[in-house]
Structure 1
């Protein structure tokens, strides 16, 4: 029997969601003042800080940085967003999700500082970021790896000066806040760079504004394909840097450009790379929701055309005898047509689903986009979990399913599977 009453952490999160009139309020003045009151600027929160910005590949890069650092014996902290199933996923200390008490202590510290003087209103993300930094400072890791939530220059994470700044990729996303101009978006993402500190450029196709921002500071530029790179082999790959080469590295199941970027950033943060430790880390790293396989089901949170193209390419590398279905749910402010066009070459039939929330997009609307683009819609459902249940009973041997379009889509399916597994465990034979 389960207790469905909210936990103290649930109560805090609901309170934070209702506390600020808007979800996203870009700017650092408010969060900077609360951080000052909290004493977050009184000393370093970690031995080194690596901040990761970009449109796609941030989560993969953070996950590999963390695995690599811990394989080299470093204590670590990571802060990422959003989460799939539990808020605790956002803050990890030495590879373990923060417990409720750690998160609540952070929220309490933020609340006390927020009200210590003229009250300051903070968004859900800003409170979460400050609370995480409070916990990281208490943990005092040798390396903190921070993922930018949105943009870069005006993101709450950017109140800290990064020792190494990483920009993974630049594409159009969050247009309502960052605009549609790639040069402007690149300039915003590059706002995490600091004078005299390394800037790692993790894509060969970044807008010119990213490098220009680094050169104007100036910050030393380490660019993919110039200062470091990847050479793919039949069964392994090779990383090369300005002074080192690592041979016979295992496929991490995540983009190799991001793996190479993680290796470069860790080296620039002062770690001498050990080939054995790197192999061990890359062979074991895992990131839920990124090309995550459950039998014939692949789950990926990619929600823009660039990410979708990567997923389509990975699926094309491994054809199946049967059909490939896409269970897709997307928010209303995302480029549905762009994502559909990118995935279409690898998809035989589609099942659009409705997501909940203020930015939700109805399955019928998604179906309209699909049909207008000449795609086959086999069904539509009121939620990702219901869509998954409908598909499960209709798959035949050789079929596979891609669950995609949003963190919410993947999270809902994973949560439904976890709940079913728990029910099956609870209903199993007693051991009296």
Structure 2
């Protein structure tokens, strides 16, 4: 496939393994060894981030802070919203097709010799990204775990610092519903005698048990580092923790990154532990410049958030509750069939006046009619049902008044569909008006 395009490769990868998710490191580690990816570190510093929610925002803030301090960076994340290239960013720029194709060709050659090894779409993409990162060997690589932790393909690389953001129920078909067991799986990214940042004060006890068992250095939110609001400047906050040498340190007057503050504080602690000397002014720039599509992303009066489980939905609802209430807030909801739609609706319903239910495609899809029945069973008003996120957005655009807001949520697929609709329709999507950004008093 020497002349194959990126699209050709992605189509091939989707078809070549019998199942889309096949947890385990034996196959991916074998190919990584053949590629020489385990011979030496792929970057000067490596931070791996795992958790149920908050991984994407933590990675985005680590990247922005690293770049604000002049570091060369690479980030690997999943899934993507609109383009596969989003998964690999080098110095803040999405990877070009040619680099990704080169990576896939290297993976394929190693996969086939001396004896063929079967890889999933995600595993092949992960190894291709690691190969691309290793070609540059940046000063900071930030790797987001795709699913679980211990058996996720990303975990084939040893991190210098591990970060655990939150633990909640999601992907029950693969991780189960036992939070203690989920915690053990996420904690599998920890390494002996290397630091781990625990980015939530409500983690299952199993996470610390694993840390103690492997001898990882624990740095816990609320214990070893913390954040607090500052008086006098709205949205300003302070961070207290320890630098890489264990010395107490404080960062002041940090701007609100419009992302979870716990994750922002965890990013700072992780960078210190990765031997980055943080500068207060550079941290301010890093938080001011951070961008993460699909997380509290405002396009005019439309808010797009990929929240797809109750934990994420509760956070989203708490942020919406801080805003000046609009005349109406209409939710456009599309969810996969294996997600806890009841919990998501319960969390968001106090902030939503009516709903547009939309269908998603694929084997895990949930129809608009199924969502509508669920919404109405919880006393929610269903204003419309649509066959796709784009069709739902088109209908919603026609009925929104000037003082209304739209909330798009429930899945990466839902947000991606509406973002693509915005792009194709060429909707004039300015940033959130300052008049609606004020907090409740």
CA deviations 1:233-262 (Å, max 9, x no partner) are 333000110311001100011111100000
CA distance in 1, matches of 2:157, 2:335: 32
Aligned-residue offset at 1:319: 2.9
Q: 1:377 Cα shift? A: 0.4
Q: Does 1:360 align with 2:365?
A: yes
Give per-residue Cα distances to partners, 1:134-165, cap 9 Å, x unaligned: 00000110111000000000000000111000
* Equivalent position of 1:426 in the other structure: none
Matched with 2:337 is 332
| Residue 186 in structure 1 maps to residue 183 in structure 2 | yes
- Provide the alpha-carbon RMSD of the alignment: 1.2
Q: Deviations along 1:163-189, whole A, 9 cap, x unmatched?
A: 000000000000000000000000000
State the TM-score, normalized to the length of structure 2: 0.93
C-alpha distance in 2, partners of 1:180/1:22?
22
How far did 1:44 drift?
1.2
CA distance in 2: counterparts of 1:384 and 1:137, whole angstroms: 38
Q: Structure 1 residues 389 and 319, CA, compared in 2 at 3 Å: closer, same or farther?
A: same
Distance, in Å, in 1 between the alignment partners of 2:76 and 2:416 is 19
Q: Do 2:326 and 2:405's aligned partners in 1 also have CA atoms closer than 8 Å?
A: no
Counterpart CA distance in 1 for 2:343 and 2:4 is 40
Whether contact under 8 Å (1:114, 1:121) holds in the other structure is: yes
CA distance in 1, matches of 2:345, 2:426: 32
**SS of equivalent to 1:273:** coil
**Aligned partner of 2:405 among 397, 400, 403:** 400
Instruction: For 1:186-265, list aligned pairs within 5 A.
Output: 186-233=183-230, 234-242=234-242, 243-265=248-270
What is the CA distance between 1:309 and its match in structure 2?
Answer: 0.4
What residue in structure 2 maps to residue 175 of structure 1?
A: 172
1:32 aligns with 2:37: no
Measured at CA, do residues 310 and 7 of structure 1 come closer, stay the same or move farther in structure 2, by a change above 3 Å?
farther
Q: Any conservation in 1 of the 2:356–2:382 contact (CA below 8 Å)? A: yes
Cα distance in structure 1, aligned partners of 2:63 and 2:99: 20
Counterparts in 2 of 1:15 and 1:207: CA distance versus 1, 3 Å: same
2:72: which partner in 1?
A: 75
Matched, 1:163 2:160: yes
d(CA) in 2 for partners of 1:13, 1:41: 25
Instruction: Give the Cα–Cα distance (whole angstroms) in 2 for the partners of residues 420 and 321 of structure 1.
Output: 25
The equivalent residue for 1:428 is: none
Partner of 1:427: none
Q: Shift in Å at residue 422 of structure 1?
A: 9.4
1:60-71 equivalence runs, <5 A? 60-71=57-68
Give me the whole-angstrom Cα distance separating, in 2, the residues matched to 1:414 and 1:155: 29
SS in structure 2 of the partner of residue 355 of structure 1: coil
Instruction: Identify unmatched segments of 5+ residues in structure 2.
Output: 243-247, 429-441
SS at match of 2:314: helix
Paired positions, count: 418
SS across alignment from 1:112: helix
The CA distance in 2 between the partners of 1:343 and 1:190, in whole Å, is: 30
- Of residues 275-284 and 312-321 in structure 1, the stretch that sits farther from structure 2 once superposed is 312-321
TM-score, length-scaled by structure 1: 0.95
Q: 1:266 aligns with which of 256, 268, 271?
A: 271
SS at match of 2:208: helix
Between stretches 312-321 and 201-210, larger displacement belongs to: 312-321
Deviation at 1:419, TM superposition (A): 1.4
- CA deviations 1:245-289 (Å, max 9, x no partner) are 001100011111100000000010000110000001101101000
Superposed CA deviations along residues 327-379 of structure 1, whole A, max 9, x for unmatched, are 00000110000000010110110111000111110000011111111111001
Alpha-carbon distance between aligned partners in 2 of 1:71 and 1:117, rounded to the nearest angstrom: 44
Q: Distance in 1 between matches of 2:167 and 2:374?
A: 25
C-alpha distance in structure 2 between counterparts of 1:54 and 1:194, whole Å: 16
